[in-house]
Amino acid sequence: MSYLADVATLARKDLRLELRARDTLPAMLLFVVSTLVVFHFTLPRDASRLAAFGLLWVALVFTALLGLTRCFAAEREQDVMDGLVLAPSDRSAIWLGKAISMLAFLVAAETVALPAFALFFDPGIDGRTIAGVALADLGICAVGTLLAGMAAASRARELLLPLLFLPLAIPIVIGGVGASVAGGSRYVEFLALYDAIFAIICWASFEYVVTE
Amino acid sequence: MIRAQGLEKRYGEKRVLRGVDLELGRGGFLVVTGPNGAGKTTLLRLCVGLAQPTAGELEVAVPRGRVGFLAHEPLVYRELTALENLDLYGRLYRVPERRERIGMLLERFRLWDARRERAGSFSRGMLQRLALCRAFLHEPDLYVLDEPFTALDDEGVELLGRELLERRERGTFLVATHDPGRVQALATASLRLAA
C-alpha cells in the first residue's frame, strides 16, 4: 500500500507542477489540433479510412513525444532527481508516478484530438478505436517515460529521446491503426500484450536508469 | 557507521578522489575539508549512494531512508511552495506527525511566514534554509551535509549552529565545509582531502 501511496504522491506532484507551470499540456493540445488541421487540408477528400486513421496515429505519437520531452524537465532543470532517488520509496514509483501523469496529459490531449478528428475526417470512431487508443496510451507512457528518464541524463536528450522512442512506438502505431480499421480483436490483443511486456520491463529497469 | 578504504572515483580519465580512508562511528562528527576540486562533494555523494566508487571499499551501515542529505542544490521544486515541497518529502520518507514536524522546522528556520510562497521566489539563503528543513525533516540517523552554511546570513548561521548542536546528541554527521571553524566545537574527527 505504501508503494501505491508513493506513486500517488509523485503523480499528484507532477499534476500540480503542470497546473502551475502549464508547460506541457497546452503545447500538446496546440500541436495535435494544428496537426489535424494541416492533415485535413492536405488529405484528398476521397482518401481512405486507413489513410485518415494513419494520420491520426502519427499525430498522437508525435503529440506524446512532445509531452515526453518535458517529462523530466522539472527534475533536470531544478536538480531535484537526487532528492527523489534518495527517498526510501522504491525507485520504480518515480517511473510509475511520471507515467500516470503523462497518461493524464495524453488523455486530456486526446479528449480534444478525437472529436476534432471525427469532425475533420468523419471516419466513424468505434469502440475498437477507443480501446486501441487507450491501450496505445498505456504503452506510450510506459515506454516513453523510461526512455525520457534515460534521455534526461544525456546532453543530447532532445535528439536521443525521439531516436529511442520512435522505433519502439512502431508496434503501437501498427496495433492502433489495425485496431481502428481492421475487424476482430487481434490488434487490440496485440496492444494489450505490448503494454504488459513493456510495462514490466520498464518497471523493473527504471532503477538502473536513475542510479549510477 | 561509515567505513571507507582506498576509496577512489574517476570520471573517465579524470580522477576526482584518490585513496581515501575514513571511519565514522555512530555518534561521530567528521568534518571534511579541502580546496576546490579535492573531491569533497564526490565523497559525500559516494557515501549517500548517489555515485559508485571506481575502486576501494565503502560500507555505509545506514538504510537509505535514514540519511539526511544536504546537497549543493536545494533539491526542491521551484514551482511548489515551501509547505508543498516539505509535504512531498514528508510523505515519501513516511514522516510521522508530518504536519507538526514541518511546521516546527519552518518555525525554527524562520520560514513560517513564507510557507505558502513558491520556492522559486525564495532568495538563495531562504532556499538553503528550506533545503535544511528538507534534510532534517525525517530525523535522520546520518546527516551528510555539503557546505551547510552556504548562503546563510548571520541569523541563518546561528539557527543552523543551534540546530546542529541539538541534533549532535542523536545523530552521526559527515560535513564538508570550507569553513571548519563553524563546526570545530562539534567535530570528533576531521579529514583533509588534497587537490
In this prediction, residue A155 has a pLDDT band, given cuts at 50, 70 and 90, of confident
C-alpha to C-alpha distances, A86 to A4, A198, B48, B143, B192, nearest whole angstrom: 18, 26, 8, 13, 26
B89 touches chain A (CB under 8 A): yes
Residue B54, sorted as left (phi over 0), alpha (psi -120 to 50) or beta, turns out to be alpha
**Strand duo B142-146 + B172-176: pairing:** parallel
Mean pLDDT of all residues in B16-28: 92
Please give the pLDDT value at position B71.
95
DSSP code of residue B127: H
pLDDT tens by residue, B142-190: 999 999 999 999 999 999 999 999 999 899 999 999 989 999 899 999 9
B170 touches chain A (CB under 8 A): no
Please give the pLDDT value at position B151.
93
DSSP string, B29-60: EEEEE--TTSSHHHHHHHHHTSS--SEEEEEE
pLDDT at A181 over 90: no
Q: Identify the weakest region by mean pLDDT among B122-126, B149-153, B191-195.
A: B191-195
In this prediction, residue A44 has a pLDDT band, given cuts at 50, 70 and 90, of confident
At B149 the three-state DSSP class reads coil
Q: Identify the weakest region by mean pLDDT among A25-39, A41-55, A74-88, B73-87.
A: A41-55
DSSP string, A13-59: HHHHHHHHH--SHHHHHHHHHHHHHHHHHHS-TT--HHHHHHHHHHH
Neighbour tally for A109: CB within 10 Å:
27
Q: How many domains does chain A have?
A: 1
Residue with the bigger pLDDT between A121 and A191: it is A191
Nearest Cβ partner of B94 from A2, A10, A212?
A: A2
pLDDT at A183 over 80: no
Q: What is the pTM assigned to this prediction?
A: 0.92
Q: How many angstroms separate the CA of residue B135 from the nearest CA in chain A?
A: 9
Mean pLDDT of all residues in A56-64: 94
β-pair partners for B142: B67, B172
Mean pLDDT of all residues in B102-124: 96
Pick among B9, B77, B89 to test the A interface (most A CBs inside 10 A): B77
Grid coordinates belonging to A114 = 478525437
Domain range enclosing A142? 2-210
- B64 to A88: CB separation less than 8 angstroms, yes or no: yes
pLDDT at A45 over 90: no
- Among B110, B99, B160, B162, which residue's Cα sits nearest to residue B135? B160
Grid coordinates belonging to B26 = 555512530
At B14 the three-state DSSP class reads strand
Per-chain mean pLDDT for chain A:
92
pLDDT at B30 over 90: yes
Cβ B174 vs Cβ B32: under 8 Å: yes
Q: Is the ipTM of this complex over 0.85?
A: yes
pLDDT tens by residue, A73-132: 999 999 999 999 999 999 999 999 999 999 999 999 999 999 999 999 887 888 888 999
Please give the pLDDT value at position A48.
84
Cβ B65 vs Cβ A87: under 8 Å: yes
Percent of chain A with pLDDT over 90: 75
Please give the pLDDT value at position A156.
86
Mean pLDDT of all residues in B93-103: 95
- A20 to B91: CB separation less than 8 angstroms, yes or no: no
In this prediction, residue B122 has a pLDDT band, given cuts at 50, 70 and 90, of very high
Please give the pLDDT value at position B112.
96
DSSP string, B55-112: EEEEEE-S-GGGEEEE-SS----TTSBHHHHHHHHHHHTT-TTHHHHHHHHHHHTT-G
DSSP code of residue B153: -
